[in-house]
Amino acid sequence: MDLFQEAEMLRKVPMFSGLSPAELKLLAFTSRVVQFGPGENLMRMGEPADCAYVILEGEVEVLGETSEGEFLIAVQGRNALMGEMGVVTDAPRSATVRAKAPVRALRISGDVFLRLLGQNPDRALHVMRQLSVRLATASREIATLKQQLQKAQAASGHGHAK
């Protein structure tokens, strides 16, 4: 895959849809293609968030962890952007991302990603909107799950969920 193909793939990522062709080429040029075999981690929960990944080929599993073990949060595929929230918030990874099948991804360093946001307020606003949509969706899903849990607990006579 050459620089122009990588730039074209980046344009399909919603987070990067507002970038100019020159910015997309620069982002592709400053990133590197990496490969992961099935079962390999792209990132692990709790690790420092030093980069983001765009999935070019294959699928990844997003996994959470409790004292009971890992659980599946989502499956993501081509054009998905992974790890950007940790880069933006400068916080440890909130989930583990593992290759479900062979994966080719574009690794974008955290510094490059943040510089891209910092250079243009409109772009930063676009990214904030994308992250806000994700947060709102996750909040709705949590509320639905909480209601289901409360109903299940009430039906079984086991107290209330908080």
Give 160's contacts (C-beta < 8 A, 6+ positions apart).
150, 153, 154
Nearest to 69 by CA among 93, 45, 87, 48: 45
User: What is the per-residue pLDDT for 1?
Assistant: 61
What is the extent of the structural domain holding 125? 120-162
> Do 66 and 83 sit in the same domain of this protein?
yes
3-state SS class at 3: helix
> Do 157 and 83 sit in the same domain of this protein?
no
> Do 31 and 102 sit in the same domain of this protein?
yes
> Do 84 and 144 sit in the same domain of this protein?
no
> Do 43 and 114 sit in the same domain of this protein?
yes
Q: How many domains is the chain partitioned into structurally?
A: 2
> Do 41 and 72 sit in the same domain of this protein?
yes
> Do 83 and 143 sit in the same domain of this protein?
no
Taking residues 28-48, what's their average pLDDT?
93
Mean pLDDT value across the chain: 87
User: What is the per-residue pLDDT for 109?
Assistant: 93
> Do 11 and 65 sit in the same domain of this protein?
yes
Tokens standing for 79?
A: 């054009």
User: What is the per-residue pLDDT for 161?
Assistant: 52
> Do 102 and 154 sit in the same domain of this protein?
no
More confident of the two residues 137 and 146: 146
- In DSSP notation, 72-84 reads EEEEE-TT-EESH
Contact 60, 103 (CB under 8 A): yes
| Total-model pTM | 0.79
